Chain A
Amino acid sequence: MTPHSQTDLAQMIADAKGPLRIIGGGTRAIGRVIGETLDMSAMSGITLYEPGALTLVAKAGTSVAGIEETLAAQNQRLAFEPMDHRTLLGTEGTPTIGGVAAANVSGPRRIAVGAARDFMLGVRFVDGAGNIIKNGGRVMKNVTGYDLVKLMTGAYGTLGVLTEVSLKVLPAVETTLSLTLNGLDDAMAIKAMSAALSSPYEVTGVAHDPSTATTHFRFEGFAASVAYRAAELTKKLSAFGTAAEAQTDWTAIRDVHAFANNQGDVWRISVKPSDAAALTAKLGATAVQYDWGGGLIWALTPEGHDLRTAMGGTAGHATLIRGKGCGPTFHPEPAPIAAITAGLRAKFDPRNILNTGIMS
């Protein structure tokens, strides 16, 4: 099914006889989803862009690349730096903004400026009963009623099919500069990244690759400011070694290229940075990568393991991004939270037909 308008979509959902598998570009296929394909790519196009107000509104099927191009022409960008999953997952297709919103997809800059959910100003969607609903709007500050924008962001389509999103955008930057430290073990690297993040020098990316023992720091902004902050941070980090300027490939970090051609399952783990090194030591992973100053761990594991067992009581959660794993795709929730989640699903998708099973 390929709806061309919101009313089309509402009708299709109301008439649906069974589960629907919602796809934007189909590049972020995670979880086990069943049902007839509901292809959102025909609902596309930027409906409003006001550079002076830092806002952009686009239909859900609009390609991320198209949006980025439009923004770049005005020297602006999507600051949360959405990851492109194609390399890691071996998928094809065109990533859409609806998919970014549904999966709350962010990149390395998340640690400095916030996640996709923090830039979402408004949504339009059709719920599982075929009701057309809007929430939020196109202005940057809005507390009118409940924030269903956040609830829909990261809900993987299970509460409704997004048809349009409005986003806060930010100015692009004049200069980007990267520094690296070499030879740190995981625990020390995380200490160094924390030191950078708790400095006033505004790093906009902090990642560590244990396979080469390289720790990366990114600075962005006006040239003079970038140079100053990089120099000051170098001084602050001197106890960890001499930071040197480098040509870090932040796209490769964002998209976890390192695991693309390796066999095995890929997990995405969200933890408190200071827990990260101790946690990875007990995961039994083949390889790991740290982003977000250690707050995000990418782990490559032999097929068919459930990392959650190894995580034990560590606060945080793990999601299976690629492979078969074992057990649910998403981290099991404590009973009272699971009850709220189930209650919300029952309200928004009473027939349980939207991306059924994707978030379990």
Chain B
Amino acid sequence: MEMPVPSALVISRKQQLVSRLREVLPHDAVISHISETRAYECDGLTAYRCPPLCAVLPANTAEVAAVLKICHEMNVPVVPRGSGTSLAGGALPTADCVILGVAKMNGVIETNYDDRYIRVQTGRTNLSVTGAVETNGFFYAPDPSSQLACAIAGNIAMNSGGAHCLKYGVTTNNLMGVTMVMMDGTVVEIGGAHLDAGGLDLLGVICGSEGQLGVVTEATLCILHKPEGARPVLMGYDNSEVAGQVVTDIIKAGVLPVAIEFMDRPCIEATEKFAQAGYPMCEALLIVEVEGSDAEIDAQLALIMDIARKHNPVELREAKSADEAARIWLGRKSAFGAMGQINDYMCLDGTIPVSELPFVLKRIGEMSKEFGLDVGNVFHAGDGNMHPLILFDANKEGDLELCEAMGAEILKLCVEVGGCLTGEHGVGIEKRDLMHVQFAPADLEAQMAVKDVFDPKWLLNPAKVFPLDASARRRVA
């Protein structure tokens, strides 16, 4: 993966930078020794590492503003960081950058149950947002599998999704407002506890901008009352085409499950070894979950089970208790961990129109043979967001490159059938150079024009999202 040549000038001024940062932050909030900056050398895309020039851990919006003002004056690139779980290299440092971590900023500022929102500092983890309101019966809907660790900051930057977004939407649909610090230190309030933007929908473009438009320090998030109950069913099929048809039939029947998850045989085998969830060995497994009162769940599941039966399942199991429900989810939730046990893997994230599911799965199977790398598929089937996991051996010469080449082919296929490169993980560095596949030069120009307005010097996370050749002129300016 190519990264821009770090600025020798910036690196040569490290001492000056560090002492200026120490003037505005407590001593221990500026991390400059290599033994400590290493902790920030990568995110969830661990194949790529580079310790930053230094890291700062501000405690509030004012401190973030002070840091950015200094970096702006000294022309130092800044890479914002939440919990560092990005799978796209979104938080990967460069040798001439300051990592700005919001991990210390994890407080709850306000909860309002009448108006159904919570305002938090963005270093707060996703799961602990729900944790702050669940005793009152509420929850925060977007639920990435990494929710125990990932921060709201990263969720907003990546517009993260989760297993339940078929019903509740992704981060952008649950975000009402932010406090954001611009690269020059200006603090802006966008949106708030009211609905809909007054002017242009700036919040909409900030969400998903991968830390390139500003550093988000506080966020107002929608909270919802928990449903009375939820219940999953598990279905196994002999062939993924049939499973794909079941998904379409359920959606067409007018029921809207909260989640429809899919796993293929390699994934089932791996998770069974790892988690012993009691999954049937078959080609395609679906987990469908519905919500509501018991009676509502019964009614919806009756419809779903009918559809499922029509397609001759090898297994059809409705959770009869909370324990059984947990077991049905257990395998799905440990799928990534299980695959990680057997191999190094790269997790792709392309989205395709649901109707193309069988074709794309077939092609991925063929590519797996062509490249000689195993692939497991586990994903959000209801919305076509695939997660092919390509297995490789990081210690084997050339395997990573082979895996990346195969990944690129799969993503191109996703675009070809009418989908996109990434459904929820973001572009980062990982898919940066594939952006040409999905976008024409004018499409990318329009996106980069937005960055020009928010960050005219291109100092915020500059080497991400846009192909390096496309952004070169702007980054050196």
Contact = CB atoms under 8 A, between A and B. Distances in A.
Interaction A to B: yes
B405 interface: no
B198 A315 contact: no
B172 interface: yes
B208 A131 contact: no
Interface residues of A, number: 84
A348 B452 CA distance: 12
Nearest to B177: A315
A173 B411 CA distance: 36
B450 A341 contact: no
A271 interface: yes
Contacts of A137: 418-420, 438
Contacts of A271: 194
Interface string A151-163: 1011100010000
Nearest to B228: A200
Contacts of A249: none
Interface residues of B, number: 93
Contact of A172 (B112, B187, B254, B443): B254
B436 to A, nearest CB: 11
B354 interface: yes
Contact of B296 (A141, A145, A222): A222
A53 B454 contact: no
Contacts, number: 255
A145 B423 CA distance: 11
Contacts of B385: 139-141
Interface centre among A132, A133, A173, A232 (most CB of B within 10 A): A133
A344 B201 CA distance: 11
Given A137-B419, A144-B427, A171 B199 contact: no
Contacts of A173: 254
A53 B420 contact: no
Interface string B444-459: 1111011111100000
B198 A317 contact: yes
Contacts of B312: none
Interface string B240-255: 0000000011011111
Interface stretch (B123-131, B158-166, B339-347, B367-375): B158-166
B182 interface: yes
A145 B116 contact: no
A146 B256 CA distance: 28
Interface stretch (A64-72, A114-122, A281-289): A114-122
Nearest to B434: A144
B26 interface: no
A315 B182 contact: no
A150 B190 CA distance: 14
Contacts of A333: 198-199
Contacts of A110: 195
B194 A317 contact: yes
Contacts of A225: 292-293, 295-296, 299
Nearest to B256: A171
Nearest to B449: A347
A140 B383 contact: yes
B255 A171 contact: yes
Interface string A322-333: 000000001101
A347 B200 CA distance: 14
A316 interface: yes
Contact of B450 (A273, A316, A344): A344
Contacts of B193: 272, 315
Contacts of B443: 133-135, 145
B226 A50 contact: no
Contacts of B295: 224-225, 228
Interface in A151-200: 151, 153-155, 159, 170-174, 191, 194, 197-200
A147 interface: yes
B446 A131 contact: yes
Contacts of B188: 334, 336-337, 340
Given A144-B427, A144-B431, A145-B465, A139 B352 contact: yes
Contacts of A316: 192, 194, 198
A343 interface: yes
Nearest to A331: B198
B421 A118 contact: no
A28 interface: no
B227 A200 contact: yes
Contacts of B422: 142-144
B418 A139 contact: yes
A274 interface: yes
A147 B225 contact: no
B21 interface: no
A143 B293 contact: no
B300 A117 contact: no
A296 interface: yes
A306 B146 CA distance: 48
25 contacts: A52-B248, A52-B251, A52-B354, A104-B201, A117-B201, A131-B442, A137-B418, A139-B420, A140-B384, A140-B385, A141-B423, A141-B424, A143-B159, A143-B424, A145-B444, A146-B209, A151-B450, A198-B116, A225-B293, A225-B295, A270-B196, A272-B112, A296-B195, A343-B452, A347-B449
10 closest A-B pairs by CB = A150-B204, A317-B198, A52-B248, A141-B423, A343-B453, A171-B254, A140-B383, A316-B194, A347-B449, A272-B193
Interface of A: 50-55, 74-75, 104, 106, 110-111, 114-115, 117-118, 127, 131-135, 137-151, 153-155, 159, 170-174, 191, 194, 197-200, 221-222, 224-225, 228-229, 232, 270-274, 292, 295-296, 315-317, 319, 330-331, 333-334, 336-337, 340-341, 343-344, 347-348, 359
Interface of B: 112-116, 137-138, 158-159, 161, 165, 169-170, 172-173, 182, 186-190, 192-205, 207-209, 225-228, 248-249, 251-256, 292-293, 295-296, 299-300, 351-355, 380, 383-385, 418-427, 431, 435, 438-440, 442-447, 449-454, 465
